[in-house]
Chains A and B, each alone.
Chain A
Amino acid sequence: MQNETFKPFYLFFITYMTQMGIVFFSLPNIIATHFGYNGWIMIIPISVVVLIHIGLIAKIYSFNKGESIFETIESLNSKAKMILMLLYISLSIFWSILAVTIAKHYAYVMKFLYFPYTDIQWFVLLTLILAFYLVTRGIITIVHITTIFFFLSAPIIFLLFYFVPDFSFLQFSTFLFNENKDFYGGIIELYTAFLGFEVILFMFPYISKEKSGFKYVFWAHLYTSFVYLIVTIFSYGFNSIQQLTRQVYPVVTLMRYIEFEFIERLDSIIFILFYLKVLITITMYVWISLVTLKRVVKWSDNLIVFVLLIVGYLSTLPFVTKKESIILLSALTKVQLFLSVFLPLLLLMIIFKKRRSNG
């Protein structure tokens, strides 16, 4: 059966919403602790590297002509089926654990900020229910929902205008990267903040074939970089470097400053609107683990997603404190970073090998 496809412009929303995650709230803090003064500059070179990384995926897309990457991998060697199956299963489990860990992390932050007396397991379970419901509706509905969520959450950026009167260039100072701690660790950390675009790899068969459809992924990445950059610049211009290194979630603090006639402390509403983005990130990782596991087992989507979420949930149960969940998440994202570099390279190798053997 032919897959139902979506128009390439949806890639913009999918990429942006998957890239943007919970790390957004602590980004200025990460940058300030790792890079020190004027650390926001580092966003630009790293964004360029990510752009090249996305370029790799774009190359695969143009070579593949809409073929799913599983078919590409499986075309390499039909004998190594067992190994491939094991690889698929472990990848699939890894991604579902990653998805649940992201959900858990958001729940910890939410508990920490707004619901001090609530057990985080409730939030995790509710999130998993939503992710289950959304993933089992199929990729087309996910794409549509992502677009709606984008338009609901994107206007938040305009709130930055509120800070313009209090913005001070004095805070920037003339030092560059002084007082930094772990420069190279910071690069990795910042790079993982851009992760999420690699899910596009799994969507090839669902994108309707149109020329230069992939440019939307680049645009999305540039938009993400722009948002990261402008928010970090505003944080730098609003706080001193010492303040930035001491606040865990500088963006939330920034938003607490906003006061309107009828509503103040807008941060709780914005933080919860941000849940839309986090949910999409979770959903996308659950979805790629679904499509991966589908190559191995012939169960219904509902059952696969259910099993995956249960596995993900149980495997993250031992990590009970917020600190543990942060450590787990940062370890998992580093693995994911490795995967997102390794997978495109592997695919490109296979494609080149195939081309050479085909003449």
Chain B
Amino acid sequence: MYINKNLSEHIKGRLDDCDDLVTRTFPELEIEVLFFGHLVGEEELRNNIVQPFSNIKNDEVINILRRKEFKQEEDLNSMVNGILEGKALVIFKNSLAYTVDIYVPKTRSVSAAEIETVIVGPKEAFIEDIGTNLSMIRRRLKSDSLKVVSYKIGTLTQTKMYLLYIEGITSSVLVKELQEKINGIDIKGINDLNQLVQYLDKKPLSIFPQYFTTERPDVSTSKLLEGRVICLLDGSPYSLSTPTSFFEFFQSPDDYNQRWLLGTLSRALRFAALVITLFASAFYVAVSMFHYEIIPVKLLHEFIKSRSGVPFNPLIEALIIESIIELLREAGARLPSKIGQTIGIVGGIVIGTAAVEAGFTSNILIIVVSISAISSFVVPHIIMTASLRIARFIFIILASIAGFFGIIFGFILLLIHLCSLKNMGEYYFKPIAPLSLKDLKDTIIRAPYQFFKK
């Protein structure tokens, strides 16, 4: 739509009742500037608008408007969108319009990662501003083959999104497939990358996260180097990477920054933790309901003694204690960090001890549940931890129905599900299924760098 009369009125009509719209006029030059004061930087406004138009004559205006930071707009929509994106709209003689980008987002500064912490390695994490996030990746990857494609997500929020990949390493089929998926998203608005991920999910009913999200720029960079695609979303301190594998969620930058043997052993520890957190409570329920025979006689005495006063069957008992742990965890997550710790420790100790003394539960169960709760925190990614928690409850219930057979039934279902999941054409359970010995040395173990081949 091209308008050459009363342009200012049209724009103001579109932005009617937007009291935060700022208008500055230079009447002697017939110039009117429109912008949202809270989106623009003061210094940028002074340098790009106020100073150039101060103390000049009428005939000099056209020269200033020819500068390259002034972009002529002919479409009313793009003028309004420009203002909404933090540009200043310069209207000359009420008929010509130019936008100048003076957007300065007001965000917090870069700080240390809070969820994915490491012992050795860089500390910084992504923040809410997409430009800063991109700069953190560009700073680490100074190559012209790093490509950035820009998108807008959400019909109302118009949230900026970047898709990053390295040309020559990432397969172009993958990039195209993801682009199609992103273009297929039709929503009003988006707040966070972790929401976007769920729109992209191929199997929305699965309990497992199908995209890997991280708040660490160093991890994102290494994903790029492995040939994956990275997405950044404005307003979200996360990046997603795809294709995703189940085993990615058990890796931490620490594995790579520390000596290989330590890296390998801590991975082994994490897989042990995975087994414990999934099966420990279910094992207890199965043993105390069906398979007493596997406990050695020496232990059996203590076991029966601790269970003798408990009025509930092992399933109810385990569910009560597991639910209490979940309550504590949820309360700890919502409260400010200082009170959160108190509630965790005091709540855990007081309720745990009191529950045993009151004869609610056996103390062996308290030990089992605590160990499985601690194990769940060993898994480095909080999203995967949540999935495993859900699976654990399913296993407990199955164990109460059919003992070890119930556990193995659930386990097989879980494995079939994991093996049939695919993410962007790649198997989720890679490199176990399909089995690739070559890739095992960087998933199950962390071999010395000399063993990796390009």
Using a CB–CB cutoff of 8 Å, the interface residues on chain A facing chain B are 6-7, 10, 110, 114-115, 118, 122-123, 126, 130, 133-134, 137-138, 140-141, 144-145, 147-148, 259-266, 268-269, 272-273, 275-276, 279
Contacts and interface: CB of A to CB of B under 8 A. Distances in A.
Given A114-B291, A126-B402, A144 B419 contact: yes
13 contacts: A114-B291, A114-B404, A115-B290, A123-B402, A123-B405, A126-B402, A130-B412, A145-B419, A145-B433, A147-B432, A148-B415, A148-B419, A263-B296
B416 to A, nearest CB: 5
A335 to B, nearest CB: 29
Given A147-B435, A268-B291, A126 B419 contact: no
Contacts of A148: 415, 419, 432-433
A-B pairs, 5 with minimum CB distance: A144-B433, A137-B420, A265-B293, A272-B404, A141-B420
B408 interface: yes
Given A115-B402, A273-B408, A147 B433 contact: yes
Contacts of B296: 259-264
Contacts of A263: 294-296
B416 A275 contact: no
A118 B289 CA distance: 13
A137 B403 CA distance: 27
A133 B295 contact: no
B294 A114 contact: no
B122 interface: no
Contact of B405 (A110, A140, A144): A110
Given A148-B433, A268-B294, A133 B402 contact: no
Contacts of A260: 296
B394 to A, nearest CB: 14
Contact of A145 (B293, B405, B416): B416
Contact of A6 (B299, B429, B434): B434
B293 A130 contact: no
Contacts of B360: none
Contacts of B290: 114-115
Q: Which of A130, A134, A144 has the most CB of B within 10 A?
A: A144
B405 A133 contact: no
A265 B291 CA distance: 10
A272 B415 contact: no
Interface of B is mostly: helix
Given A115-B290, A269-B294, A145 B299 contact: no
Interface in B400-439: 402-405, 408-409, 412-413, 415-416, 419-420, 427, 429, 432-435
A266 B413 contact: no
Contacts of A123: 402, 405
A121 B282 CA distance: 23
Contacts of A115: 290, 402-403, 405
Q: Which of B402, B405, B408, B419 has the most CB of A within 10 A?
A: B405
A262 B299 contact: yes
Nearest to B429: A144
Given A130-B413, A144-B432, A259-B296, 8 more contacts: A130-B412, A130-B416, A133-B413, A133-B416, A134-B416, A145-B419, A266-B294, A276-B412
A141 B419 contact: yes
Contacts of A137: 416, 419-420
A147 B408 CA distance: 16
Contacts of A122: 402
B294 to A, nearest CB: 5
Contacts of A134: 412, 416
A83 B140 CA distance: 69
A140 B416 CA distance: 11
Contacts of A276: 408, 412
A148 B419 CA distance: 10
A261 B405 CA distance: 23
B405 A275 contact: yes
A10 to B, nearest CB: 8
Contacts of B291: 114, 268
A264 B294 CA distance: 5
A354 B370 CA distance: 69
